[in-house]
Chain A
Amino acid sequence: DSGVTQTPKHLITATGQRVTLRCSPRSGDLSVYWYQQSLDQGLQFLIQYYNGEERAKGNILERFSAQQFPDLHSELNLSSLELGDSALYFCASSPRVSGRASNDNEQFFGPGTRLTVL
């Protein structure tokens, strides 16, 4: 158990719908990351938050948005869902952010949310 929790574990929905995925980081971790894992694209970084503020953006679609709340949990919102959005969505957390090699950067992953869009 990494200490990172994600809900729900599974989500089945229809095209055009909107869903919210939730993540609670490890106790004490300030940084949260969201990743998407699909069969054809592998593990792709979506977005990072640090202590409530957006820190970095990756390959995140405009239909997707995220935020980190004062209690440091994070939510990923996916809207106007398409079949191609079906994937495993992971949240990870790390203690802090450092531009140099540091254990503060080590990321721990949650169990993931498996999203199926029908």
Chain B
Amino acid sequence: GIQVEQSPPDLILQEGANSTLRCNFSDSVNNLQWFHQNPWGQLINLFYIPSGTKQNGRLSATTVATERYSLLYISSSQTTDSGVYFCAGPSSGGSYIPTFGRGTSLIVHP
């Protein structure tokens, strides 16, 4: 099956700092999502981004499908950004069943 690798596994930032999270795939990319799991366990949609670049406030994401990776940028980080960030990659066949990476655990200190 598809392998999804996320880096870095852990990240500690000071409030206000910027960061880039990366997701690599072992096969071609389509149907890619980024999620944030907050400290209460909720999985929140950030982006559905099979290709190209999207922005939402302080967050933006870029997927380069031909090179099998996606990046999530967090600018001016806030303590509320803490949690685990997951990318969910594509699957083959006629249905989108995402394979999740192991996540990047982010802690933002005030």
Contact = CB atoms under 8 A, between A and B. Distances in A.
Interface of A: 2, 33, 42-43, 45, 48, 55-56, 58, 88, 90, 94, 97-103, 105-109, 111-112, 114
Given A94-B96, A112-B43, 14 more contacts: A33-B97, A45-B98, A56-B97, A58-B97, A90-B43, A97-B94, A98-B96, A99-B94, A99-B95, A101-B30, A105-B48, A106-B48, A109-B42, A114-B41
B75 interface: no
> How extensive is the interface on chain B, given as a class?
20 to 34
A33 B99 CA distance: 13
Contacts, number: 60
B35 interface: yes
Q: Helix, strand, loop or mixed for chain B's interface?
A: loop
Nearest to B94: A99
A95 to B, nearest CB: 11
A115 to B, nearest CB: 12
Contacts of B94: 97, 99
Interface of B: 30-31, 33, 35, 41-45, 48, 50-51, 86, 88, 93-100, 102-103
A34 to B, nearest CB: 11
16 contacts: A42-B100, A45-B97, A56-B95, A58-B97, A90-B43, A94-B96, A98-B96, A99-B95, A100-B30, A102-B31, A105-B96, A106-B45, A107-B96, A108-B45, A109-B44, A109-B45
A88 B103 contact: no
A112 B40 CA distance: 10
Contacts of B30: 100-101
Nearest to A94: B96
